[in-house]
Chain A
């Protein structure tokens, strides 16, 4: 019965968290309070692990909670529950889009969506940049300290990616090198 409940609870999270993995956190907090499966302290650990391991964060969270509640079957069930609503919704939309691909209206709508989508990704990127490059705090509450090492590393990687030869390297190469630099220089 616990497995069924895990599936349903995470299907609910999947259905109501619109957007990225961060959107799942408020729902998980509520789930912890309602079910007693995990405390807020547990949740903090799970968020930290989910952020520092590969994979979409929301998926990592679901696997973690599921494992804590019911071992490996729990991990699999919670993850399947999380993705179930979105797979159904997207399959329906994808089917619809394929059917109306030739429609002038659908084409016009998507021509408006593409710049908006690019803008939303830009805005999300700016958000990530602020959280990575700015250290809030210090002596006074409203002082911001630039994290120069991170900024320099990002700038160096960005420049490399504009280079004719270097930009052929797979993005994961840059991520791996950046992890090494982080360890060497104690970021």
Chain B
């Protein structure tokens, strides 16, 4: 029953996600944290952090994590198959019958609206997530540093060596590993609890 539930819940989320893994965050918070209580906000942010620096797509990685946590290896596999199942059906139908789908004016207009909604939903999700992940000064400082570097990496184009250095220090892998090391140094001394 739990396995079926995992498959169906993640299939539902696959249908409701537009864009990448980040667009899935609001849906994950609603379905997995609030409704099913399969994970906490903190755990979601853990999965996103690991998903950033491991192979594969974040939405898929998160499904595997939550499925495994709830029902072991089989749960991980079924949740993952659930999240990709709607894509396989929808894309196959479109590829077979409607390959000019993306050029239909109504689709483009609808997508324009959906994208605006996704920005608003991500903003609301980040605030919700921040309430549980930014509870103390070191956390807020880590947040600001990582945000500054990541934003600089995506919006600034430095020439020459500076650009290469920026590419490295703003990559998610570097930032996640760096924050992990900082966390280990700062929070371990405090006895593992950062309060």
Contacts and interface: CB of A to CB of B under 8 A. Distances in A.
Q: Do A and B bind each other?
A: yes
Interface of A: 14-22, 24, 45, 48-60, 63-64, 67-68, 72, 75-76, 79, 82-83, 85-87, 89-91, 93-95, 98, 104-105, 107-130, 132-133, 150-151, 153-155, 157-158, 161-162, 167, 170-172, 174-175, 177-183, 185-187
B69 A104 contact: no
Given A83-B80, A132-B119, A113 B176 contact: yes
Contact of A182 (B65, B112, B130): B112
A149 to B, nearest CB: 8
Given A114-B139, A118-B143, A119-B150, A64 B91 contact: yes
A79 B29 CA distance: 25
Contact of A48 (B59, B102, B140, B184): B102
Nearest to B152: A123
Nearest to B101: A49
A75 B182 CA distance: 43
Q: Is the interface of A mostly helix, strand, loop or mixed?
A: helix
B112 A53 contact: no
Contacts of A76: 88
Given A127-B154, A182-B114, A115 B140 contact: yes
A86 B111 contact: no
Contacts of A67: 91-92, 95-96
A111 to B, nearest CB: 4
Given A91-B76, A114-B46, A161-B124, A85 B186 contact: no
B19 A19 contact: no
